Structure 1
Amino acid sequence: MLTQYIHQFFNNFDQKKTMDQLQSVASSKDGVIGIATALILISGVAAYKSSTVERGCPQVPCGTFSFGSTSEYRENPVAFVKKWEEKLGPVFGAQLFGQYATIVSGPQVREIFSNENFSFMAGIQRDFDTYLLANGGSIHDLPPHVVSGGIKKNLSPKLPFYTSRVIEHLKIGLYEQCGVVPDEGKEFDHVYPFVQHMVAKASASVFVGPELAKDLNLVDSFKNMVLEVGSDMGPKPYLEHFPHLMRLRMWYIGKTSTNVKRHRDQLFAALVPQIDSRLKAMKEKDSNWDRPNDFLQDILETDDCPPHMDIYSYCVDWMTQIIFAALHTTSENGTIVLYRLLDNPKVLEELYEEQNAVLEEAGYDDTVGPEVFTREILNKFVKMDSVIRESCRLRNDYIGLPHTNVGKKTIVLSGGAMIRPGENAFVNFYSNHRDEKLQKSGMNANNFEPYRFVDQGKNSTKIGDDFMFFGMFKHACPGRWFAIQEIKTILAMLIRSYKMSAIDSVVFPTSDYTRIPTGRFKIVPRK
């Protein structure tokens, strides 16, 4: 009864009245104690009841009024995954993150991705709902399938056209980050800001056009919105036991955060004049107007804006979803790949030699710069593509990609595990990405082998149960081709222009809170 009340409270509140009520309760000692006690009791009872239900698969032991296995998992994710998979098998249940979760590895992960009654969006929004967190409108006004469909229709097919624009703006971003590098070289503290700026600059040129990509405030939002708004959430491990409280916190951040307000204001300030200008030209059929070729123009021409929304808010919500879905993840993964290369300097020079061979075959000598790169040339850098796939395979991903059973019936996997309506199945990345049978490469799956996938028919965008980085089947990430092309271009440009080396030891994280390695590095111009 109490859990139902809290659920109804969150989904049916009056925002102003609820804010006043929250402030009143939060300022009361008795109120805080009461809420905390109720939530702990709810969590404890739910965990206990869950452990007594038949699940069709073995479960990690969970005591009465326990928060389950979350602490054990957070302390050492690798040890947790290895221990319980060895004891319980490839599919097992555990009380994790304030819920009962079915952990799936091996071939059965395909059943998670292929079943229409499993929803990744419903699973991820429990902990990170960008509509709430960034005050980004309603999921009903801009549903995920519209975002995914727009990317499939208006981005991926145009990648050959966008390649030269991306290269141009990556060069601009690179220069803005490092300027003229002297012969003795230049040192940097971290790879991420370096890559982040290049990705933001190039992505802005594609999504809102080259002119708006010059707007410093807009580029700032493309760069920093995810990090700054996400930082408002902060590492709050105690909240993950209480999903309704997590969602309430995200809504509160979206409505009150100065970071959210600043970035939305910057997006509005940049987009509104541009939208007005374009709509006017379209309405008047101005013969002197050159139609902009970018994602924003595609949105304006779809005429999908809900009747109760203004077009400005609709476009800002679109850009917010794109920024959260693509910008940080591309910057993060580009950073991971670069650190793998810095940790393996011999590979860097081998990739440079690969470039020379490909360019020579295309009719260029080894003095040309990255300005001659095309999509076709980039796709021939097969060693570099293998490095990207291998680096992403070895990310510190452990248990993730929650999929909620949004159907009305229990889903039974081929091994017998039962996921009831409203419950989540999680994918065991760590096991599948290191499974010798699935990888089929004849190399130790725990090691970084840069050329593992050369001539194996497995490029960095090819998905499967041995590489679930982008999901699988028809719900796989629709923007993966664009993301990989940006990463490839960044790597190729840096390798072509500079010799790079690590100054300190590269440190790869092993926790489940960050994926980004650390380490200082240096670049020296190639002669």
Structure 2
Amino acid sequence: MSGFLADPETRKILRAAVPVTIGLASLAYLAVKLTSKPSNGFTADESIPTVRLREGESVHDIEYRENPERFLEYCEKTYGPIFNIHLMNQKLTVVGHPYIKEVFTNSNFSSTDAIDEVTGLRKYSASIVKSNCEIDNSTMHELLRDVLTPKLQLFTERIAGHLDLTLGYTFGGGFETKVVDDPLGLVFHIIAGTMAKVFMGMEIAQDPKVTESFIFCTRDFGQMLQAGVPDRSFWHMFSVNTKYGYLDGALNPLHKHVQALVTASTPVILERRRREAECKEKGIPYERPLDIMQILLDESDKYGFVDLEDMCGHIMLTVLASVHTTVDACTNMLYFFAAYPQHAETLYNEQQDVLDEQAREREKERAKLVAKAYEQGAAVPEFDGTDLDPKKDREVTTSAIRKMVYFDSYLREVFRYRSARLNLAHKARKTVVFSNGQYISKGSKVIINMRSAHYNPEQGEDVNEFKPFKYVGQTAKSPAKAATDMIFFGMGAHICPGRFLAINEMKILGTLFLQRYSRVEFKDREAGMRRLTQIVGEPLDQALILTSRHHASTEEATSVSTETSSTSTTTATTTTNSSTTISVTLESSSTMVIV
């Protein structure tokens, strides 16, 4: 696995394949700039203005990429909330606040149609499943909404346990200061492994090929998107090939990953069926394994799955649509820890307060049970190995996660600040008329002006600044709630159903990460801050320096002890020397470089 992460070409593909917002729409439109086949024309509504091109330029790409904020702000002030632009070799109508909601809630606008036009994604997806191949198939959406989200609380302990274990062997035990050259690749490994446990179950996910498939499926899809570089005719050929069914199951690169899941699952499922039959024969209840695979097996008739291969195909498509986006969101979170360390420490203090409270509550519960046992003359209860085991007092639980309201506000601000300024394209299946009377004619495409939603006055003062705790105490501003001022996860009937899992994983990973590391820094702060604040909507690739919380405490204690015994220095001197010690440690042999 380390070889895969270390390969520069692989990291390049991962960065290109991982979008910033949830869903495949970003993935397709991140690469659509490569196409040589122009889109349909602008809407026939001549009242919608087209942004004037700069002298000597035939598209708006250069002007937009130079400074997205400046370009869109100028367009909004000059042309209003709806205007036409030539971008990514497409003729797009930009729709901004307050008309964004009308795009998401109108069934005549289709994001999948917009994606399929440039990638042939429907044929690509349908070639690895045997059921639910309708043009507007919602099976993946239903799987997450009906199966995973309601049971998310049950999965929290598993997610926390796996993330904690994986952090240990991926980033280290947390007792050393280290440099991480490829945070994106490492987080990818962590999240993919966790998702494998949730979707496939502990037994099946033990097969290393399962976790590898969860990782490599996105890489393989990214390679397909990158296959057109520098051949700009790729998209035309790809569209033709998929149109005539060239990519059947045998040729689709996802097919081998589906087969890996089938191979790993078959003996485990057969054993589960055997145990279930045995329990039924003995008249005892069968304890059903907690994983998505088992739930889908039990509900296969409901979803119309043909066989195990079909089921694994749907799981693979769900993974493709969710893992890479969660990875990018988690990586962004780490970069914001580095950019604004004072805020990261606030999050750490909150988690400690929450876990302290949890420990006190559990101690009170144990005391009540002991007192009750004395009153009844019963034996004092043993708590080891039970839900009230003192060793579990400070574990990250669902209840603890929910109480971390500062973290909720922090993530919402990360989503707002790092969203691509133009994203989530939709194609009109019929002519759609907006409430202001302007219309988008059938076959034309719109793209959402995320900036107008995430940077409008509804966000409060100083919208261009990162202020992560301004939503604390505002339940209507939770990171999972979609509104006209937060569309990171989409809106309406097709809002991302996996957003609760993504946020849960981010909070757990962030909590465990901050328990290990007292400081996260950019290896090159100037470059890191520039990319974080100016190059939005694209994955980052900056190295990070992690200072162990335990190591820093030990160094500081040693520094204080040495100075106390040798000389009467001031507190200010102690602090300075402690920082120097850490700085020297970063340059010493104890620094680990992970690739």
What is the TM-score of this pair, normalised by structure 1?
A: 0.80
- What whole-Å deviation, never above 9, does each CA across 1:245-266 have from its counterpart, x for those lacking one? 5534667677687854543342
SS of 1:500's equivalent in the other structure is: strand
**Aligned residues between the structures:** 474
Letter of the 2:404 partner, please give it.
F
SS of 1:159's equivalent in the other structure is: helix
SS of 1:404's equivalent in the other structure is: strand
- What whole-Å deviation, never above 9, does each CA across 1:334-363 have from its counterpart, x for those lacking one? 110111011111122221111222222333
**d(CA) in 2 for partners of 1:81, 1:141:** 38
**d(CA) in 2 for partners of 1:129, 1:485:** 33
Instruction: Report if aligned partners of 1:348, 1:495 keep a CA contact under 8 Å in 2.
Output: yes
Which residue does 1:462 correspond to in 2?
481
- What whole-Å deviation, never above 9, does each CA across 1:257-299 have from its counterpart, x for those lacking one? 7854543342232233334444566678566854222111121
**d(CA) in 2 for partners of 1:486, 1:306:** 27
Show the 5 A alignment for 1:74-473: 74=65, 76-127=67-118, 130-133=121-124, 135-137=127-129, 140-141=132-133, 144-182=137-175, 184-234=176-226, 236=228, 245-248=237-240, 259-278=253-272, 290-304=287-301, 310-364=306-360, 372-407=395-430, 410-435=431-456, 437-439=457-459, 441-442=460-461, 444-457=462-475, 458-473=477-492
- What whole-Å deviation, never above 9, does each CA across 1:201-245 have from its counterpart, x for those lacking one? 221121111112222111112123213321231184888999755
Cα gap change, 1:341 to 1:71, in 2 (>3 Å)? same
**d(CA) in 2 for partners of 1:261, 1:318:** 11
Cα gap change, 1:223 to 1:80, in 2 (>3 Å)? same
**d(CA) in 1 for partners of 2:537, 2:514:** 30
- What whole-Å deviation, never above 9, does each CA across 1:84-119 have from its counterpart, x for those lacking one? 223211111234444432211111101111112222
Instruction: Report if aligned partners of 2:200, 2:292 keep a CA contact under 8 Å in 1.
Output: yes
Instruction: Report if aligned partners of 1:127, 1:240 keep a CA contact under 8 Å in 2.
Output: no
Cα gap change, 1:295 to 1:173, in 2 (>3 Å)? same
Cα gap change, 1:166 to 1:447, in 2 (>3 Å)? same
**d(CA) in 2 for partners of 1:261, 1:512:** 33
SS of 1:390's equivalent in the other structure is: helix
- Which stretch of the first structure deviates more once superposed, 390-399 or 173-182? 173-182
Which residue does 1:54 correspond to in 2?
45
SS of 2:427's equivalent in the other structure is: strand
SS of 1:86's equivalent in the other structure is: helix
Structure whose alpha-carbon radius of gyration is higher: 2
**d(CA) in 1 for partners of 2:220, 2:393:** 33
Tell me how far 1:455 sits from its aligned partner. 2.0
Identity of aligned residues (%): 27
Tell me how far 1:76 sits from its aligned partner. 4.8
Instruction: Report if aligned partners of 2:153, 2:398 keep a CA contact under 8 Å in 1.
Output: yes
Tell me how far 1:464 sits from its aligned partner. 0.8
**d(CA) in 2 for partners of 1:246, 1:149:** 29
Tell me how far 1:136 sits from its aligned partner. 3.0
CA RMSD of aligned residues (A): 3.4
**d(CA) in 1 for partners of 2:270, 2:492:** 39
- What whole-Å deviation, never above 9, does each CA across 1:146-203 have from its counterpart, x for those lacking one? 2212211111111111111111111122123134344x42321132233222212221
Which residue does 1:524 correspond to in 2?
548
**d(CA) in 2 for partners of 1:158, 1:471:** 22
What is the TM-score of this pair, normalised by structure 2?
A: 0.71
**d(CA) in 1 for partners of 2:246, 2:547:** 43
Are positions 1:504 and 2:524 aligned together? Answer: yes
- What whole-Å deviation, never above 9, does each CA across 1:111-155 have from its counterpart, x for those lacking one? 111112222222233345655446433684376422212211111
Letter of the 1:379 partner, please give it.
R
**d(CA) in 2 for partners of 1:420, 1:286:** 63
SS of 1:58's equivalent in the other structure is: coil
Letter of the 1:521 partner, please give it.
I
SS of 1:107's equivalent in the other structure is: coil
**d(CA) in 2 for partners of 1:114, 1:430:** 19
Letter of the 1:398 partner, please give it.
R
Instruction: Report if aligned partners of 2:119, 2:235 keep a CA contact under 8 Å in 1.
Output: no
Instruction: Report if aligned partners of 1:396, 1:511 keep a CA contact under 8 Å in 2.
Output: no
Query: Which of 483, 490, 493 is matched with 2:509 structurally?
Result: 490
**d(CA) in 1 for partners of 2:163, 2:508:** 8
Structure 2 gaps of 5+ residues are 1-34, 362-389, 554-595
Structure 1 gaps of 5+ residues are 1-38
Letter of the 1:482 partner, please give it.
L
Letter of the 2:451 partner, please give it.
Y
Cα gap change, 1:488 to 1:252, in 2 (>3 Å)? farther
